[in-house]
């Protein structure tokens, strides 16, 4: 039976046998029996490379006292869920994201430490609990996720790509005037509008 460690664009954690292209964490989500019993423990929601830090490094599953490994189809999913690039193992992506976030929010980049970014994203995730916001598709950037026909879709190159843990389905062309519920948190949308381009698994 697959572990419940795959993350959806809503930020929910589900079980799926499909393999992701990024790993991440939100802290230790386990109980004493190794079951995931909480949605988060740390405000630092990050997305990491699948590559080990060293030949001897080993990811630990289902054990209390260790971070809970989570997996995403791609970076667009991680961003929609509210995860930022890791400042250690994905340093170039983190720096590009921080620069785009600063530009999108109208902030000085040097004021955005990792902990500051985590607080901004944490507040955005809490706000999403009160409901999604509506926007027209023509005003949204590539890399964002929306609800279309009650299913998460990635917006990319003028088309909507239906998401599943296993990959994206056949895309459809959209009417830019169509209003949709947006899944990607507003600060991350701002970074996407400012030019941050996430890694996506289209066609793979």
Question: Which three-class secondary structure state does DSSP give residue 92?
Answer: helix
- Name the 3-class secondary structure at 53: coil
- The reported pLDDT for the residue numbered 118 is 97
**Predicted TM-score of the model (pTM):** 0.93
List 163's β-bridge partners, or say none.
Answer: 168
Contact (Cβ atoms closer than 8 angstroms) between residue 22 and residue 47: yes
Query: Low-confidence residues of the chain, pLDDT below 50?
Result: 204
Q: What is the pLDDT of residue 127?
A: 84
Q: What is the pLDDT of residue 53?
A: 67
pLDDT at 204: 44
Q: Which residue has the tokens 């809490």?
A: 126
DSSP 97: H
Res 56: pLDDT: 60
Residues paired with residue 181 on neighbouring β-strands, in sequence order: 134, 147
- pLDDT at res. 61: 78
List CB contacts of 77: < 8 A, sequence separation 6 or more.
Answer: 7, 8, 9, 145, 163
Q: Are strands 84-85 and 46-48 parallel, antiparallel or unpaired?
A: parallel
Alpha carbon distance, N-terminus to C-terminus of the chain = 24
Given this model, what pLDDT does residue 49 score? 94
């Amino acid at each position: 039976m697959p572990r419940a460690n795959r993350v959806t664009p809503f930020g929910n954690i589900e079980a799926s046998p499909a393999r992701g292209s990024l790993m991440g964490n939100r802290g230790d989500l386990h109980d004493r029996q190794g079951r995931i019993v909480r949605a988060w423990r740390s405000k630092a929601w990050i997305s990491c490379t699948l590559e080990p830090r060293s030949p001897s490094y080993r990811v630990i599953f289902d054990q209390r006292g260790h971070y809970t490994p989570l997996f995403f189809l791609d970076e667009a999913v991680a961003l929609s869920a509210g995860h930022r690039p890791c400042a250690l193992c994905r340093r170039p992506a983190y720096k590009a994201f921080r620069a785009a976030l600063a530009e999108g929010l109208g902030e000085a980049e040097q004021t955005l430490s990792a902990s500051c970014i985590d607080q901004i994203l944490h507040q955005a995730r809490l706000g999403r609990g009160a409901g999604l916001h509506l926007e027209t598709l023509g005003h949204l950037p590539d890399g964002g996720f929306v609800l279309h026909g009650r299913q998460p879709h990635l917006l990319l190159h003028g088309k909507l790509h239906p998401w599943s843990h296993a990959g994206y389905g056949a895309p459809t062309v959209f009417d830019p005037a169509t209003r949709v519920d947006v899944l990607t948190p507003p600060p991350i949308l701002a970074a996407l509008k400012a030019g941050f381009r996430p890694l996506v698994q289209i066609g793979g």
